[in-house]
Amino acid sequence: MSLADRLEGLRTRIQRAAAAADRDPSSIEFLPVSKKQPLSLIREAAALGFARFGENYVQEGAEKAAALPDLAFVLLGPLQRNKAKSALQTFTEIQSLDRPELAERLGRLAEELDVVRPVWIQVDLWDETTKQGGCAEADLPALIAVLSGDARLPLRGLMALPPPGDDAAFTQMAGLRERLQQDLGRSLRLSLGMSGDLEAAIAAGSDQIRIGTAFFGERSY
């Protein structure tokens, strides 16, 4: 099956889910996750209209960004402190910010490099930090406090990897976003949902859907 065929099927699902939730499908971003995918497929996806791609690993993302300078790459995977500088140089956004000390290091390096990089806080409400990273709800105030004074790391929203099959997790994230928006006095975007649960994510108000193999096909390891 071609990328165009897969895209048509996924967009149909998004449109149906948006209609069921009384939402405008154009308000939901489809972010292709290009981890372990060849440059040829990313170029093919770009020809279909995509300009932003999600990557999980800093080194792989850096190589792709160098080879495809007209495209933008977003970091979705866990970020180690020793790769913070490379991440700022490579990615236009970082969605996996999950601890104050990392935010502090990114802020210092962003000033040194003279760059602005929007960030998303990766949240973990389900005690899954050992698997994928993420900031517990109790630790969010400290992390947000670090970001509040740093214009070089504007907070765009919340990203999460809910446990598979747990639709209630999406409702939890929607509630958390609402509470934080009230506290901060401004809107936050929400990045939830992959190919297996995009309907639940859209119903909960997710602004971004991250799709990997359901769009690109099986990854090459």
Cα dist from 183 to 95, 111, 119, 134, whole Å: 21, 27, 18, 21
Residue-range domain boundaries for the chain:
3-215
Residue 129 has pLDDT above 60, yes or no: no
Token pair belonging to 131: 């698997």
Q: Which residue has the higher pLDDT, 105 or 163?
A: 105
Which pLDDT tens digit goes with each residue over 57-102?
A: 999 999 999 999 999 999 999 999 999 999 999 999 999 999 999 9
Q: How confident is the model at residue 219 (pLDDT cuts 50, 70, 90)?
A: confident
Q: Which CATH class is domain 3-215?
A: alpha beta
